[in-house]
Amino acid sequence: MKPWTPEERRIFSEASAKSEGGDMRGALGLYRKLAKAGDATFQHSLAYTLEAECKPPRKGEAAIWYKRAVRNGYAPSAWNLALGYAETGQPRWQMHWLKVYARLDRKSAPRDMLEWAQTLIARRRAEEARSYLELAAKLGASGAKKELRKLERKARGG
């Protein structure tokens, strides 16, 4: 990623302030201006705003911008896509984006997947956690295999 120019930094700060102040139309306009220039960080910010801050959420448009950010090498966008596909019950696409995330961020991915799986288990969503644990184990996350064994014992009633 290239460093932000002073003008980009100013526009981003203004967009953030508008978003925090509830001016979503103004914030989206500024984020979109930055995102169209091709910077993955700005594309991700626009996608996140569309998905998490707009009422109602604009998930379809957010997915487009997340995918653009991924094409520009931004790993957090792949993670957000994986979570989005998990939410909508699309495990094939969820796994696709988890693998993309792992390719883009080999250092953080195993730990993030293990931690998210543990969160899901704590929320009593163990079956959903399994795919994260399996991939985390393949990526060498310490503790992932142990968590998988615990899940298997629990599933057998042990």
pTM of the model: 0.87
- pLDDT band at 128, cuts 50/70/90? confident
51, 80 in Cβ contact below 8 A?
yes
- pLDDT band at 158, cuts 50/70/90? low
- Fold designation for 1-74: 1.25.40
3-state secondary structure 19-46: HHCCCHHHHHHHHHHHHHCCCHHHHHHH
Residue ranges per structural domain of the chain: 1-74
Among 109, 110, 113, 118, which residue's Cα sits nearest to residue 147? 118
- pLDDT band at 34, cuts 50/70/90? very high
Checking if the pLDDT of 10 tops 70, the result is: yes
